[in-house]
Amino acid sequence: MYDPKSLKAEEFINHEEILETLEYAEKNKNNRELIEKILDKAKPRKTSRGVECSGLSHREASVLLACEIPDLTEKMYTLAKEIKQAFYGNRIVMFAPLYLSNYCVNQCVYCPYHYQNKTIPRKKLTQEEVAAEVIALQDMGHKRLAIEAGEDPVNNPIDYIVDCIKTIYSVKHKNGAIRRVNVNIAATTVENYRKLKEAEIGTYILFQETYHKESYEKLHPAGPKHNYAYHTEAMDRAMEGGIDDVGLGVLFGLELYKYEFAGLLMHAEHLEAVHGVGPHTISVPRIKRADDIDPEVFDNGIDDDTFAKIIACIRISVPYTGMIVSTRESESCRNKVISLGVSQISGASRTSVGGYAGYSDDERPHDTEQFDVSDQRSLDEVVRWLMELGYIPSFCTACYREGRTGDRFMSLCKTGQIQNCCHPNALMTLKEFLEDYASSETKAIGEKLIADELKNIPNEKARRLASEYIENIHLGKRDFRF
Ligand code: SAM
């Protein structure tokens, strides 16, 4: 029985409900009247509190994803852009992954870290090596990391992960600092989630990989990750352990994308129904080539147009949830999808263990790599590229440091205060980047952008303060925030 409030995986991600949803979407994919009604429901509306969006149910959203009427698909893209503009403006938050260890006891058939892969060298960073990686990342200008590790209770126990987080936060090199550590590690216990919370992590990220139970079990034939219910119920345990911000995702290519899309939105509805707050972010990774992994053997790969449509539909359906696109995607693909609703991208990523320290911008170690990175530009190049496209690269980490997590973040979004808060924070952290790390060309573009964008802070006091803080950053002070 389908029940979004249930704590049992197979009831809140209910197979029959997904099949019925897909049937309903297929039946209505050319139903102009219904699709127009759904698009109208999803529009941003002015209320006494600010601008609000209702979002869509997984059924409504699935109809949009299935829609085959070209002018309505165009309308969908326009609406996605409008919603992104309303809640995220032209800001794009920057982050980088940091791989701690590729030891893993699981057998995920799409991942080169799987236990049976004997060709990949295994490596786990020591605390000294973590510090060296962090210095290299700080020297590029990063302030926000997502740490990644395989699942191995002996080599990568929770205490090792917590020690790494402590090391990461402790490194203060020149003007650098990592101010937010997001964590992408395997599903674990409430007690371990509590330890992560105490270590002051930002978002706990766990990709479902696939919501299709039967496929899930085949794709994870052994190891602790084989347990579908334990994996699917992880976010509930994380929230029970006190973590407010959780990040969902599926690995596109494993199963039929329409199935995954419905499952993803059902998961978001479940979190909202049980915990009163939806996912903080949704990631949309696609399978990539890697040591021992050929993405062609998976039949469900999606092309760039379908990928873009999925992103637009997610943006319309869960308007307050951030969306992340990684360097798995090429520059041209990222260019296409950013405007449709993406709020965070990674830059200058290395997916190998120890891939940053001691390597120049165009030197890449491949031996311990998790997957091929498509976008191989430096952070300076990505920042410049974003600005040339009219975006503000943001290194902001203020919300969680100010306690604006979970539903408090969502209410900031809903009341439109984001423009008086996130916008100046983005400009101030960009200014830090320009002062400390940018090339002269990037700096020139950035200074002009900041001067122009300061005018777009609606509240006069916030505008004045932001200008003052930016002047202070130029004079050498750091870490201002609203
Ligand atoms: N080990 C943890 C787990 O199992 O959830 C999390 C870290 S894992 C390093 C991060 C993610 O990389 C996985 O959840 C998976 O979706 C993704 N991934 C694995 N193999 C991939 C591949 N060949 N191409 C793209 N992404 C991949």
Predicted confidence at residue 216, as pLDDT, reads 98
| Three-state DSSP string of the chain | CCCCCCCCHHHHCCHHHHHHHHHHHHHCCCCHHHHHHHHHHHCCEEECCEEECCCCCHHHHHHHHHCCCHHHHHHHHHHHHHHHHHHHCCEEEEEEEEEEECCCCCCCCCCCCCCCCCCCCCCECCHHHHHHHHHHHHHHCCCEEEEEECCCCCCCCHHHHHHHHHHHHHCCCCCCCCCEEEEECCCCCHHHHHHHHHCCCCCEECCCECCCHHHHHHHCCCCHHHCHHHHHCHHHHHHHCCCCCEEEEECECCCCHHHHHHHHHHHHHHHHHHHCCCCCEEECCECCCECCECHHHCCCCCCHHHHHHHHHHHHHHCCCCEEEECCCCCHHHHHHHHCCCCCEEECCCCCCCCCCCCCCCCCCCCCCCCCCCCCCCCHHHHHHHHHHCCCEEECCCHHHHCCCCHHHHHHHHHCCCHHHHHHHHHHHHHHHHHHHCCCHHHHHHHHHHHHHHHCCCCCHHHHHHHHHHHHHHHCCCCCCCC
**Cα 265 to ligand 1 centre (Å):** 20
Residue 284 has pLDDT above 80, yes or no: yes
Lowest mean per-residue pLDDT among 81-85, 105-109, 405-409: 405-409
Ligand 1 binding pocket includes 105 (Cβ within 6 Å): no
Q: Which atom of ligand 1 is nearest to the CA of 209?
A: 16
Q: What is the mean pLDDT of residues 290-303?
A: 93
Confidence of residue 99 (pLDDT cuts 50, 70, 90): very high
> For 149-194, how does the pLDDT look when each residue is reduced to its tens digit (9 = 90+)?
999 999 999 999 999 999 999 999 999 999 999 999 999 999 999 9
Q: Quick one: pLDDT band at residue 303, thresholds 50, 70, 90?
A: very high
pLDDT-above-70 percentage for the chain: 100
pLDDT score recorded for residue 65: 98
What ligand 1 atom has the least distance to the C-alpha of 293? 23
Q: What average pLDDT does this structure show over 90-108?
A: 98
How confident is the model at residue 406, as a pLDDT? 83
pTM of the predicted model as reported, rounded to 2 decimal places: 0.97
* Mean pLDDT, residues 318-332: 96
Instruction: Give tens-digit pLDDT for 383-412.
Output: 999 999 999 999 999 998 998 888 887 777
Give the mutation target among 148, 184, 294, 351 for probing the ligand 1 site: most ligand atoms within 8 A of CB: 184
- Whether 415 has a pLDDT exceeding 80, the answer reads no
pLDDT tens digits, 357-373: 999 888 889 999 999 89
Distance 58 CA to ligand 1 centre (A): 25
Atom of ligand 1 nearest to the CA of 104: 1
Q: What is the mean pLDDT of residues 141-145?
A: 98
- pLDDT score recorded for residue 361: 84
Question: What percent of the chain clears pLDDT 90, i.e. is strictly above it?
Answer: 91
Check whether 414 has a pLDDT greater than 80: no
> Is the distance from the beta carbon of residue 287 to the nearest atom of ligand 1 less than 6 Å?
yes
Per-residue model confidence as pLDDT tens digits over 470-479: 999 999 999 9
Instruction: Summarize pLDDT for 8-56 with one digit per residue, the tens.
Output: 999 999 999 999 999 999 999 999 999 999 999 999 999 887 889 999 9
Q: Band of the pLDDT at 418, cuts 50, 70, 90? A: confident
Would you state the pLDDT for residue 416?
66
Mean pLDDT of the chain: 96
